[in-house]
Amino acid sequence: MRFEDPAADFVPAVERVFGAEPRVLDGARAVLVGDVKLQLEAGERELWLIETRGVLEQRLGMVEVHDDIESALLEAKDRLGDVLH
């Protein structure tokens, strides 16, 4: 039997795609890159983009995770655009 876990490569993939070491939150299912939290949900099938400002959070959108977490992160980075700068 073979198990695949898209979250297993989540933190290293975030570092590769965003070019910065993320702050790991919630047992490696969520990371903080600047003021944006990237959070895996729904059995690692959804990548939520959440803007954080102090204790307030605003969900900016969601990217579906298919087979490759890095592809989802590239789409997320593209969607975030100016929010990261």
Check whether 2 has a pLDDT greater than 90. no
Q: Residue 9: is its pLDDT beyond 90?
A: no
Domain range enclosing 31: 6-80
Residues 18 and 26: their CA atoms lie apart, in Å, by: 19
| pTM for the model | 0.83
- Is 12 part of any domain? yes
C-beta separation of 8 from 14 below 8 A: no
Q: Is residue 85 part of a domain?
A: no
Could you give the number of structural domains in the chain? 1
Q: Is residue 51 part of a domain?
A: yes
Sign of CA dihedral 52, 44, 78, 32: positive
- Tens of pLDDT, residues 32-56: 998 899 999 888 889 999 999 888 8
